[in-house]
C-alpha cells in the first residue's frame, strides 16, 4: 500500500465495511465513509475490528460522526492511540 498515509492492516479492515467502494478503486483520505456504505451497524463492526487489530480502545469521546467521517479522520484517532500504547 505505498502512497497511503495509513497501514495496510487499516486499509484491509476498513475496506471490509465499505460495500459501495469498488474493490479496485483507490481509497482516498477524504472519502466520505457514509457515502461508501458505512452505516451504524457497520460502524460498530469496524470499531471492534480496528480495536482488535491495533490493540487499542477508543474512548467514548472519540466515537463521534467526525471520527467515522473519512479514512483520514479514523486513521488519525487510531494512529494517536497506537502511538500512545507503544
List residues binding other proteins (CB under 8 A).
20, 32, 34-37, 40-41, 43-44, 47, 60, 63-65
Nearer to other proteins, 47 or 81 (CB): 47
Specify the residue for cell string 472519540: 62
Place of cell 477508543: 58
CA pair distance 67, 76, nearest whole angstrom:
8
Instruction: Between 2 and 41, name the residue whose CB sits nearer to other proteins.
Output: 41
Contact 74, 6 (CB under 8 A): no
Answer whether 68's CB lies under 8 Å from 43's CB.
Answer: yes
Residue 5: CB minimum distance to other proteins, A: 23
Q: What minimum distance in Å lies between the beta carbon of 57 and other proteins?
A: 9
Give the chain's end-to-end CA distance (angstroms, integer): 23
| Cβ-based nearer residue to other proteins, 69 or 72 | 69
Q: How far is the CB of 42 from other proteins (least distance, A)?
A: 9
Amino acid at each position: 500500500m505505498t502512497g497511503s498515509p495509513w497501514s495496510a492492516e487499516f486499509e484491509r479492515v476498513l475496506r471490509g465495511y465499505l460495500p459501495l467502494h469498488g474493490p479496485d478503486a483507490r481509497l482516498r483520505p477524504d472519502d466520505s465513509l457514509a457515502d461508501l456504505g458505512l452505516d451504524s451497524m457497520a460502524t460498530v463492526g469496524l470499531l471492534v475490528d480496528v480495536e482488535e487489530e491495533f490493540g487499542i480502545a477508543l474512548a467514548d469521546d472519540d466515537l463521534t460522526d467526525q471520527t467515522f467521517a473519512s479514512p483520514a479522520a479514523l486513521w488519525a484517532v487510531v494512529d494517536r492511540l497506537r502511538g500512545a500504547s507503544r
